[in-house]
Amino acid sequence: MAVDINSIKRLKNLTGVGLTDAKLALEQSKGDFDLALKEMRKKGLTKAEKRSEREARQGLIGNYNHDNRIGVIVEVNCETDFVARNEIFINLVKDIAMHIAAINPSFLSPKDVDQQTLTNLKDEYKAKAIADNKPANMIDNIVEGQLKKYFEEKCLLNQSFVKNPDQTIEQLVKEHIAKLGENIIIKRFYRLALGEIN
């Protein structure tokens, strides 16, 4: 089946795969661009998982200032200076900084939530479940569900991306790992808001 060269180029640009792979994906999907994109993203994310073991020491310190009232500094690492200077990577860093300004995460990931906070949350969720007369055999599941919701609200990697709520920040980073072919790590961030005390 003949595949349009513009579709091949578009698929290549969106997924970071080679032209041959993009062409093959479109042929296998019988020209269905959305299906080809979905399949290539799956393959790309699988490769991204493998790349996440590699060391990332280059990158950028990005920043975002909203109306001179909210400021964000974020460090995002990659493997090479070449990727750090790539426009796709630069835009990713900008998007992450803007997201932090808008959504105000408290932690980078669930593993960064301190033990005391976790213990307090579990106790609070358990007490509420008991007070709401939830069945005893369901309480642990309720507590886990509430913790998951907390992580989605407070942990940057678990939050829904402000520009695309169907995607978490972690998925956004993995998509860029697949696209750029290097490991990418959000190392740390700091957010200041006028009049707030951290």
pLDDT for residue 25: 80
Residue 28 pLDDT: 83
Closest CA to 75 of 84, 86, 65, 87: 84
**Residue 5: predicted pLDDT:** 81
Residue with tokens 């990577």: 89
* Domain architecture of the chain: domains with CATH: 5-51 (1.10.8), 58-108+155-193 (3.30.479.20), 114-153 (1.10.286)
Q: What DSSP assignment string belongs to 151-184?
A: HHHHBGGGSEETTEEEEEHHHHHHHHHHHHTS--
pLDDT of the residue at 4: 77
Q: What is the predicted pLDDT for the residue at 8? A: 77
Summarize pLDDT for 54-110 with one digit per residue, the tens.
Answer: 677 799 999 999 999 999 999 999 999 999 999 999 999 999 999 999 999 999 999
**Which amino acid is residue 18, in one-letter code?**
G
In which residue ranges of the chain is pLDDT below 70? Answer: 1-2, 13-18, 41-54, 198
pLDDT for residue 24 = 80
Q: What is the pLDDT of residue 166?
A: 92
